[in-house]
Structure 1
Amino acid sequence: MNAKETTAKLGFSTKQILKFVMPSIIGLLLFVVPLPWGGGSITIGVGYLASQFKASFGKGLPGLMVYVVITSAIITLLSTIMKPKLIATSEFFRELFIVTPLILAIRVIAAVFAYAVLYSETAMGLDKISNPNTGGVVVNDLFPVLATWFFFSGFFLPLLMEFGSMDYFGTLIRKFMRPLFKVPGRSAIDAIASWIGSGPVGVVITDQQYKEGYYTSKESSIIAVCFSLVSLPFAVFIASFLELSISFIAFYGAISIASFIAALVLPRIYPLNKKSDEYFEGVDVKINEEVPSGRSVHGWALERGIIRAEQAPSFIGLIISGLKTVADVYFSLMPIVVLLGTVSLVVAEYTPLFSMISKPLIPLFDLMKVPDASLAASATLVGFADMFLPAIFIKGSQFEITRFIIGALSFTQLIYLTETGAIILRSKIPVNFKDLLIIFLERTFITLPIIVIIAHIFY
């Protein structure tokens, strides 16, 4: 329908309106609205559920997820070789377990790595893999977080995506998002879910929206690498870990301002500006945020939301969809996280690679009058491997301004192979490893001067 056409206003029953309003409110409370859940720190509902589950069962989660990775490797190996009827006749199981030789190799190697960490005393010759600072970080630290976040997200995401809230808010703020960031208005929901909740969850939302025909290749790429920021609760943890005496508002303000500017610049430069404007192959274009003439923005947004809610799956359909999402994440994503994360951390821990390639940055830090320039330079590029590594590198610095700069920068860099990077590579979003590396460097050089300027204002 042409945006200039006058479209007659539709009438809706109370039942139809409630079907849009009630699930959308619950979805927003779970994924978008930050609240002091349980009287604790500010977070979103899914984050609170994940933290409570982790607190109750966290000790057993690393072992459980190791066995999930091992099970994934065994089933994938047998299915790919033998193609049993149960697997081959189901489109979902076929795509999940009958894979290419590369994916098969990743899952088998990941299973070996995971086993080596869980049973380090019997994993002869794999000491570097099972080290608490390498594979141990992935299995003992990342696994419990990802397992709980994705479990609850898998079942509750439809409340945010299927019942019209993204269509409603997307239509309302399209006129701001499109000229600023070259993306639809609904992407603001992705951004908020990432910033307040979890970056990986934001990527999953973006991937699903892309596969369903709401984003183009370019739009999904922009959203994934510009909006999927590490969560607010983790920022609180990093600020505490680095012993920053300055107000947290200043710390997170620096992260937000620098990330906002990066989101303005990156869609306009390579490689994002070269991505296709085509939609995912084989899907119908579903997005419709343009407001017809003769209609109010709010009225049209409400109508879009209610119509979307009417198309939502049944309760059983939502449960089945949730099970598939969780299975896909556990059996296909977790092995990639293990492999990429462990290899990256081994390189950071046992080789001088990051120190060597960061040497050209030392004069830059000296020019910007950042103390401990050599240490800051090393901490800058190691963030490509894992988001937490820069904080570990820089924690020993006696200069708080340096800890502030590197801590904030580690958030604005956004691309981490142990989490966001691995999930993007696993998704259908058309961003490859070379793109991730280039974007990581671009984000670093765009946001670093901004953070340094802000840091010098406060120190």
Structure 2
Amino acid sequence: MNTEQNYVKAKENLLPRFLKFFIPSLLGLFLFIIPLPFGEMFNIEGVSPVNIGVGFLAELLKLNMAQYIPTICLVIIVCSAILSVAGKFITIKNDFLNNLLNVSSFWLFFRILGAVFVTMIYFNVGPTFIISEDTGHVIMGIMPSLIALFLIAGFLLPLVMDFGLMDFFGTMISKFMRTLFLVPGRASVDTLSSWLGDATLGIMITNTQYKQGFYTKKESSIIAVCFSLVSLPFSTVIADQLGFMDKFVPFYLTVCAASLVCALILPRIYPLCKIKDGTYENITYQEEEVSEEGSLAKQGLVNAMNRAENAPSLNTIIVNGLKNIVDIYISLIPLVLAWGTISLALAEFTPIFTWISYPVIILLELLQIPNAAQAAPAVLVGFTDMFIPSVMVSGEGFAEITKFIIGALSISQLVYMTETGAVILKSEIPLKLKDLIILFLTRTVISLLVITPIAHILF
């Protein structure tokens, strides 16, 4: 359909079509993009001072169910393992359940391992390297946030994806995004949801859009590892841990600068440049309609209303939301716990990261970063979890500039196996573990080269 036909169609039943786009999209804006001071408005202890709506609702759910979530986590992961084992011996006629439970030996192994780990951690029995406060209990501490966030977002994601919000913003900045980052304009909404809410939320949106044909394989991969940024609220946690809240603005602007440079470079080099432009299961690519003439805002509105007109029914949204939540709980939660526990055990109880960090010492010394030998393991351990590097350098004996560099780096590295890495690998986005390792190392080098000069100026 060309632009002229779109304009003609847009004039028909204009007000109802506009409201069908505007009302759900406005709600989507407040839930997923616009941060509000909910903590101050409701004065609830344990709620972030500023958050997006979905994050606020997830925090409320987490607070009200805090005592039950560890048990819920135990039940989910153990049931995932039991049902997946049963799926190997029972013929499942339902396609959704068959795809969910009849998995390969690789995924089955980690579901079973996750069940073993969560049982040990829950009952506090087993090897220290599994049930330690620095390993298994750290991952269990992440579970409430993930379980609550996925439950809330699973039902509300259509507000930003199916009623025209992404089409509206995407059309207006599509040329800018395509030229600089090789992705459609709608990727900006994924970015904002990550930046203001949670990185896993951005990946969920990206994966759903990819399966619907709005992103190609390459575009979804670029967005997942370049735009699923660590949330602004969590960045304040890192800054506070390192004592930089008084310098938070330059601290976070440094992170933004490093992330921007990574987003400009990574899509043009290996491995992202080698990923094909095909679509998920060869479905039709939903390309953004951008005309060379007329107002981009007007065209974006037309595209948004056309998208809203084909939005799914409430019943379909509820059914798909339930399927998404069950899929995430059964497939993803066990992997996050299993991989996260293994990663932290390697970091805390083995010298592996010390051994492999020797080349990093040379790089840090070339960049004239103090405490290079002591800080080098923190540079690589970020692959396991985003919070560990700041913990490793937060003690006495580290120079302020070193703390600043490691803290900013840990946020801009972006690929973490306890969270985003596990979500990407379990999604349909075509990135493998090898790709994530290469991308993590590449982001680390690029980010260091951007962050270090800025840190030397500030300190």
* TM-score category, normalised to shorter length: over 0.9
- SS of the aligned residue for 2:251 comes to helix
The corresponding residue for 2:118 is: 114
Say what the alpha-carbon RMSD is for the aligned residues: 1.5
CA distance in 1, matches of 2:392, 2:408: 14
The corresponding residue for 1:131 is: 132
How many residues matched?
449
Shift of 1:444: 0.3
Shift of 1:37: 1.8
Equivalent runs, 1:60-459 vs 2, <5 Å: 60-83=68-91, 88-121=92-125, 123=126, 126-139=127-140, 141-244=141-244, 246-291=246-291, 294-398=293-397, 399-459=399-459
CA distance in 2, matches of 1:105, 1:362: 36
Contact 2:7 2:302 in 1 (8 A): no
Change (3 A) 1:215 1:396: same
Shift of 1:296: 2.7
CA distance in 1, matches of 2:108, 2:19: 46
Q: Which amino acid aligns with 2:431?
A: V
CA distance in 2, matches of 1:336, 1:8: 48
Contact 2:6 2:302 in 1 (8 A): no
Q: Which amino acid aligns with 1:118?
A: Y
Change (3 A) 1:371 1:245: farther
Q: Which amino acid aligns with 2:90?
A: M
Change (3 A) 1:245 1:143: closer
CA distance in 2, matches of 1:220, 1:209: 8
| 311-320 or 239-248, larger mean C-alpha shift | 239-248
> What stretches of structure 1 of length at least 5 have no aligned partner?
none
Contact 1:162 1:309 in 2 (8 A): yes
Identity %: 45
Change (3 A) 1:7 1:114: closer
Contact 1:170 1:289 in 2 (8 A): no
The normalised TM-score by structure 2 is 0.95
- 1:42-84 superposed Cα distances (whole Å, 9 cap, x missing partner): 221111111222222223212211210001111111122122x
Shift of 1:349: 1.1
Shift of 1:425: 0.4
Contact 2:39 2:50 in 1 (8 A): no
- 1:402-447 superposed Cα distances (whole Å, 9 cap, x missing partner): 1111111001100001100001000110110010000000000001
- SS of the aligned residue for 1:146 comes to helix
Contact 1:203 1:224 in 2 (8 A): yes
- SS of the aligned residue for 2:153 comes to helix
CA distance in 2, matches of 1:219, 1:120: 43
CA distance in 2, matches of 1:251, 1:36: 22
CA distance in 2, matches of 1:284, 1:363: 49
- 1:244-264 superposed Cα distances (whole Å, 9 cap, x missing partner): 254211111111111011000
CA distance in 2, matches of 1:7, 1:164: 14
Contact 1:120 1:127 in 2 (8 A): no
Shift of 1:454: 1.5
- 1:161-182 superposed Cα distances (whole Å, 9 cap, x missing partner): 1100001110010011000000
Contact 2:216 2:285 in 1 (8 A): no
- 1:361-387 superposed Cα distances (whole Å, 9 cap, x missing partner): 223222322221112111000001111
CA distance in 1, matches of 2:179, 2:396: 41
Q: Which amino acid aligns with 2:362?
A: P
The normalised TM-score by structure 1 is 0.95
The corresponding residue for 1:26 is: 27
Change (3 A) 1:320 1:245: closer
Moved over 6 A (4+): none
